[in-house]
A and B are shown apart, each in its own frame.
Chain A
């Protein structure tokens, strides 16, 4: 792959309700921050990819409703309906096509403006699955049970993720839910859908973010500290929930294998310094760690209990606080990429981890991680 770099990033604060801002206002804030970070003006942006979801926004062709805010007016603009990691993937491909030197990718979400279970219910197949009330939390509870039952993972091991990530959020001023928790407090929070308890679940959030990608030629002119895309891949499992083995993240294993191969990584645990992954629910961090190859199947809980995934551990995971501490849907995956970029550039503030040279960002799309997108980012071209 021709080298492509991330040259600018911007994130708004994630909050339960950004009542003062419509979603175009959030996009403008994130895009302005990304341009400032890159030291660019909007005129230097060759093309734009917007990421949004019509159901969440309550309007069709929602992606076109942020044109002024993202500066795509009079530019080539295209859209992705899915997680931000997939939007960035498309932005990357537009540069690799040779047609553009720079791509601005922005994503927005206002969970405060709709009724979350109704929207996530609508992602399910309407004839056989939607009627029965399937939505994000119930389907994830089914996946959590399938995974925990297969490998003997305990609710306490899942609770460790919640304790760690909410604690990490104290060092991230943009996070929504820094919480000082104990495993006992997570365990005694009420069940939402057994085995998931309130404190195993991500919050509903408002937020936006933006990244600017550039070809090597442009990146090296713009910035002295580009962060390079070393490898990237995505893979998708079956659509019907009932066609999938929910205990097995095989689409993630495939995406990780291909992204690592592209990046020349053979031993992820040794060669990767930091991970930002999509922990919409606490059990997901364990499953995705296994799918990303940081431990064997069913060993995510033990890895977490060992302290290896803490900020000072051997392989820090979600030092930002993760999705458990702020979950603007669609934006959340782009934030995983941005957190990795900040860590590699040494600009992650209080949450900075020492010596991060190579980091992995991960996003999901569809119920229970139907599709996964894996990014390997590094400081060396």
Chain B
């Protein structure tokens, strides 16, 4: 009798999706509509420690007090840290694969005490440095999302 062939089966999950609708909240909605309608960033200031948060949220974690004072902040800032990403994957939130390589940075906007993540318009790591000045470049068509900012551009080239 022929030896039985060992077969190991795997099942595919297929095209099924788990869609979500995340609420941005009142401050988050204000932040995103300001990006969309006025190409402006807004933050929120802590009444106790004075720290300005972007994106805005309801509570200062370290002070554990409610935040109520929305403040306009700059669309310019500096690079805190960066990378140039060489691998791509299909982002589930956009369904698109971003062409590689792309610059990616942690950015401190002027007047803000926290950082945001965003893309850079430079892909040569030798031309990017921590502390470099950057400015937001907005999309023509904006929908109320972080992607309304196309990327940050390096100011001192």
Contacts and interface: CB of A to CB of B under 8 A. Distances in A.
B117 A129 contact: yes
Interface residues of A, number: 41
A271 B104 CA distance: 42
Contacts of A58: 13
A241 interface: yes
Interface string B29-43: 000100000000000
A115 interface: yes
Contacts of A243: 53, 61, 114-115
B142 interface: no
A192 interface: yes
Nearest to A134: B117
B114 A145 contact: no
Contacts of B91: 121, 131, 133
B106 A138 contact: no
B109 to A, nearest CB: 10
B37 to A, nearest CB: 17
Contact of A117 (B84, B89, B147): B89
Given A132-B146, A149-B130, A242-B115, A194 B125 contact: yes
Nearest to A149: B130
A371 B35 CA distance: 32
Contact of A242 (B8, B86, B117): B117
Given A193-B83, A193-B84, A121 B104 contact: no
Contacts of B64: none
Contacts of A246: 81, 106
A3 to B, nearest CB: 35
A193 B85 contact: yes
B61 A238 contact: yes
B73 interface: no
Contacts of A20: 8
Contacts of B87: 117, 137, 192-193
Nearest to B80: A146
Interface in B36-92: 53-55, 61, 80-87, 89-92
B93 A193 contact: no
A98 interface: no
A129 B90 CA distance: 15
A188 to B, nearest CB: 14
B62 to A, nearest CB: 9
A159 to B, nearest CB: 17
A146 B130 contact: yes
B78 to A, nearest CB: 13
B92 A122 contact: yes
A365 interface: no
A20 B147 CA distance: 43
A132 B92 contact: no
B103 to A, nearest CB: 9
Contact of B106 (A142, A144, A238): A142
A132 to B, nearest CB: 5
Interface of A: 19-20, 58, 115, 117-118, 121-122, 126-135, 137-138, 141-146, 149, 190-196, 238, 240-243, 246-247
Given A138-B83, A191-B86, A242-B117, 11 more contacts: A19-B10, A117-B87, A118-B92, A128-B146, A146-B80, A149-B130, A191-B84, A193-B86, A194-B83, A194-B125, A195-B83
